[in-house]
A and B are shown apart, each in its own frame.
Chain A
Amino acid sequence: MTSSPPPGLDRRRFLQLTGLSAATVALGVSAPADAAAVAGAVDVPAGAFGLGVASGEPSADGFVLWTRLAPQPLAADGHGGMPREDVVVSYEVAEDRAFATVVKTGTAIASPALAHSVHPEVRGLQPGREYFYRFRAGDQVSPVGRTKTFPAAGQPAARFTFAMASCQAWYHGYFTAYRDLAQRAVDAVFFLGDYIYEYGIVAGGNLWRQGVSVGVEHGVEIETLEQYRLRYSLFKSDPDLQAAHASAPWLMVWDDHEVQNNYGSDNSLYGIPPKLFVHRRAVAYRAFYENLPLSLDSLPQGPDSLVYRRFDVGTLARLNLLDTRQYRDPLPVDEADRLSESRTIMGQAQEEWLYGGMTGSPAAWNIIANGVVITAVTDGRVEQWDGYPANRRRLLAAMEQTSNPVALTGDIHHHVAAELKADFTNPSSKTVGVELICTSIGSDGDGADTDAYAKDWLQHPYVKLYSGRRGYVHTTLTPTEMTSEFVTFPYIEADAGAQPKVLARFRTPAGSPRLEAL
């Protein structure tokens, strides 16, 4: 090493001289090229890449890469079996899977304060092309990930493919859907909430994934940072989830179970006072950041985290990722409250940001990815947009002024395809957009083709599909149409061997939002 700190020059001063901010170094985003000398030589235990690799947040010239060193992913203290020391992680980005043409290299420091996760932000790449990446730590090399940049800003693009996934209750079954999704080499994956669940996992209770067992430390509702970290480790130990992350860049939306069932803002459904609950939210948001390919913008500050954000796919599509949990009003106390004009599920700042970004969008398609169902179903579903009708009216009014709005949603463990009406109290009103609701990856186990809730949905002429099986959605956008394909699996509890079935396909013509069954 030629530029290790001279004697008497401390680490902070050394970093200043290298031109990198101490913050991005400490936070695992970037580090001096010869950072190994700063961090010191640490033996990295074998199997350090036990949680796989991931990429996310693509732009026209780059993306965020992610890994988290965890040679013993299920170590009960949440530190993954790593020593409590900084470790240098280097990465390579290449144009080919064999790494014959490496176009970027860099380093980042994996520190125990972030559970040895790194989030390098790679820039300066070519638009609209496939890249491959891998990490090194000590003498170990990670699996190879495939990712892709978005098309050039302001330029048209011929085609954009994406998959949708949500609600991956690991304990309810195998991630067969990810095994299939990983083979499809999409341009991006939208994850639409409930990446983990906070509940205790108990054999004979909710552990329906056959042939596995879990230790008692998984048997309680999670609450501390070490417990949230451990829960991510458990879920992310699934090889099919790892394969799906390694197959494409992910765009992350959260819902409630990343913190606690049906929480909203600082309100717990279970009576935990807000001044206490914010401490739980802080560690839950922290673990979400640590375990996913998110940019530094989403690093929580105390109990707050900025995760609503926007990406442009050339002029073909604008992607708006919403946060419908952190800023929502509490559950309505009565019907007058539910119907209040001031009621919001997004918070005023996010509403203004979204409507401005929709109506002023240059894109042909305007995607709104969110955690809970927008379509009107029944008034009693107060945890979704049915509990916030005034906010929904404002959103639908913005959709009327927006080119080809498409909502992507998870949460309900069912495939549903619906047309969004200008006025849901008048089903013959204009269709202003469509909502594609993706079933769960794991939650609710095998499921069934239909169930007792079907009539709530299918009573509405604007609901075009309903299924209670597990699966994912695959969508193709072109300048002239959107094709959405709803994939299901006949079982997931016994093993990961079920074969996919295309349950339904719909065409949505540009300029005329509707769902035409194919």
Chain B
Amino acid sequence: MAPPTITGLRGTGQLSTVTLDWTPVPWATVVDHYAVYVASGSTWTLAGKTVYPRFVHRKLGFTAVTRSYRVVAVDAAGNSSAPSRTVAVANKTSVTVSGRPIARVGYYDGKGEFALTPNRSADYLATFPNDVDYTYGVSVRDRDWCYLQPGPSDKWAGSKNHRVRFRFNLAARPTTDLDLALWLIDSHASLAGSALLSVNGTQLERIAFANGATKGSTLNDSTLPGSPLKPSYIERPLPRRLFKVGQNFVDLYKDTGSWIAFDAFGIYARS
């Protein structure tokens, strides 16, 4: 007997990913897994299997593409349900694609290429006794920007809060909001925690980081086949009223959890 057909399928697009949710089948059916199928043309392929009534389709790139999804329930005996109805979802376009870079450190390429890369976190306190204070155009990427930003859960970094400050110049006040593009190659698996984001000393919001794989403290290339790293992508608008002509700074103050591992950090204008 086939398990019930999935209902309630819906999806939302994010950077590089699409998240699908649906209504789990009642407990009377013992589910082995849900199989998620995707099509960007007319051919359906298996995007992945999950035990949860949620699936995150990853590695979709940074330019929006609309894809179709449907879900099949497979029960403990190996029987498959009929496919659910189809939903169409697009991933989001990154500001690193749509915008114009003003200042940045790192390459948005899935690799960490900074000071202490790939595994010298033990040298953090000696190398960055006052944390990272980086001035775009003056500082040097692989000397002045640390590959990790520690948090208070990191004994190797003194079990205290840590800040990164990113300074850059503006020749004129921006006429539209700017965007922060903060990409990570990895984060701690259970204690990714959060950080306060501020512009020129004005606190904007708390950014919660997705849990990663706790591998980015020793590995720096998430693009290798089978890499265990779990990258994540954060892009946030920065209100134009907070900027001024001359030097500006954006702070990330990590006051909860453990470390994050940078792919790149930059400020973009909307073009």
Contact = CB atoms under 8 A, between A and B. Distances in A.
Interface stretch (A63-71, A106-114, A124-132, A486-494): A106-114
A283 B51 contact: yes
Contacts, number: 70
A34 interface: no
B209 to A, nearest CB: 10
B250 interface: no
A36 interface: no
Contact of A224 (B27, B33, B189, B226): B33
A81 interface: no
A301 B27 contact: yes
A279 B190 contact: no
Given A113-B30, A271-B190, A280 B52 contact: yes
Contacts of A223: 33, 50-52
B76 interface: yes
Contacts of B252: none
Given A225-B32, A226-B32, A226-B33, A282 B76 contact: no
Contact of B33 (A219, A225, A271, A277): A225
Contact of B77 (A113, A216, A224, A301): A113
Interface residues of A, number: 31
B68 interface: no
A270 interface: yes
A271 B211 contact: yes
A224 B49 contact: yes
Interface string B205-232: 0000001000000000000001010000
A279 B31 contact: yes
A277 B53 CA distance: 10
A405 B52 CA distance: 42
A277 B50 CA distance: 11
A92 to B, nearest CB: 28
Interface in A252-288: 269-272, 276-277, 279-280, 282-283, 286
Contact of B31 (A78, A200, A225, A271): A225
B253 to A, nearest CB: 21
Contacts of B79: 84
B57 interface: no
Given A279-B24, A283-B31, A111 B52 contact: no
A111 B77 contact: yes
Contacts of A328: none
Contact of B52 (A115, A200, A216, A272): A272
Interface in A338-375: none
A497 interface: no
Interface residues on chain B, size class: 20 to 34
Contact of B78 (A77, A271, A272, A302): A77
Interface string B38-80: 0000000000011111100000000000000000000111110
Interface string A105-145: 00000011111000000000000000000000000000000
Given A225-B76, A270-B211, A276 B27 contact: no
A303 interface: yes
A219 B228 CA distance: 10
Given A113-B30, A283-B32, A84 B78 contact: yes
Nearest to A82: B78
A202 B213 CA distance: 14
A202 B75 CA distance: 28
Nearest to A223: B51
Interface string B192-211: 10000000000000000001
B21 to A, nearest CB: 10
Interface in A385-419: none
Contact of A276 (B32, B52, B78): B52
Interface in B10-49: 24, 27, 30-33, 49
Given A225-B51, A271-B211, A79 B31 contact: no
B55 to A, nearest CB: 11
Nearest to B192: A271
A76 to B, nearest CB: 11
A213 B49 CA distance: 24
Given A84-B77, A224-B51, A270 B32 contact: no
Nearest to A286: B30
Interface in A300-344: 301-303
Contacts of A216: 226
A302 B27 contact: yes
A437 to B, nearest CB: 25
A439 B139 CA distance: 52
A280 B24 CA distance: 12
B190 A219 contact: no
Nearest to B76: A113
Contacts of A77: 78
A112 B77 contact: yes
A269 B190 contact: yes
A277 B24 CA distance: 12
B226 to A, nearest CB: 7
Contacts of A112: 76-78
Contacts of B211: 270-271
Nearest to A205: B228
A185 B54 CA distance: 48
- Which of B75, B76, B77, B192 has the most CB atoms of chain A within a 10 A radius of its CB? B76
A123 B22 CA distance: 45
Contacts of B49: 224, 226
B98 to A, nearest CB: 30
A280 B51 contact: yes
Interface string A215-253: 010010001111000000000000000000000000000
A270 B190 contact: yes
B76 A286 contact: yes
Contacts of B24: 279
Contacts of B27: 282, 301-303
A219 B226 contact: yes
A225 B51 CA distance: 8
Given A224-B32, A270-B189, A303-B27, A279 B52 contact: yes
Given A77-B78, A111-B77, A302-B27, A276 B33 contact: no
Nearest to A276: B52
5 contacts: A84-B78, A112-B76, A225-B30, A272-B52, A279-B53
Would you list the 3 A-B pairs with minimal beta carbon distance, nearest first? A302-B27, A224-B33, A225-B32
Interface of B: 24, 27, 30-33, 49-54, 75-79, 189-190, 192, 211, 226, 228
Given A112-B77, A226-B49, A277-B52, 16 more contacts: A84-B78, A111-B77, A113-B75, A115-B76, A216-B226, A223-B50, A223-B51, A224-B50, A225-B51, A225-B76, A269-B190, A271-B192, A276-B52, A280-B52, A286-B30, A303-B27
